Amino acid sequence: MSRELVLIPTEKSCIYLEGAGRTLTSIEWSTHINVTFQSKANYTVAKGITFTNTYNNPVLLDVNNITQAKAARISGDKCAFFDCGFLGVQDTLYDDDGRHYYHNCYIQGGTDFIYGNGQSLFEASTIFFSMGKYGPKRDGVITAQQRNSPNDTSGFVFKNCNISGTGGKTQLGRALNAYARVIITDSYLSDVIRPEGWSSVTFVGHE
């Protein structure tokens, strides 16, 4: 386990990071101001690494003070993650901008824990709602996609994924902008998902 902040700047494209496996290799930090792992470059590829933000510690945390604490921010184009983990509570994975691919990844959180304006495919991955750690009635939201116009090509696609969790109930997503787009296909949804599925927030009529 490495405790540090990692930043790949814009000019450092085509970087490949490989760990021994997501249960064996991890990069961790505790912050609500910064982000544990950030890649601004194009063509970043990572395999077998878990990125964790421990700021919202479930043992020490006042549940009324959960705040943004990003484990990863991906802003470059054509980035890919294989067998990686992303662990946090709120805003775990900031899928900021660009085209991204996540395969056989494990993504855990409680509130808006996959969010941003990326154009991304999550395939054969586990999406785990973890707010049950704070009590059985603690609810949350999985995605908060930010597509803001009908011409915007961004959106999240979840294919052959396992979407489950523990404790409270969660919505699959809520719209942060009027044209938010999330597609879930050929995936398992456990009973942790609320029956209504989605929240339009202030964008009723754009469902």
* Residue 62: active-site member: no
CA distances from 183 to 88, 160, 161 (A): 23, 12, 12
3-state secondary structure 145-182: ECCCCCCCCCEEEEECCEEEECCCCEEEEEECCCCCCE
* Residue 112: active-site member: yes
158 residue type, one letter: F
46 close to 25: Cβ distance less than 8 angstroms: no
* Residue pointed to by tokens 């809520």: 174
- Say how far apart CA 4 and CA 30 lie, in whole Å: 9
The 3-state DSSP class for residue 132 equals helix
User: Of 83, 91, 95, 96, which is the active-site residue?
Assistant: 91
- Say how far apart CA 207 and CA 200 lie, in whole Å: 7
User: Of 83, 96, 97, 112, which is the active-site residue?
Assistant: 112
Q: Would you state the torsion angle of the CA atoms of residues 108, 111, 117, 123, taken in this order, to the nearest 10 degrees?
A: 30
**Residues labelled catalytic:** 91, 112
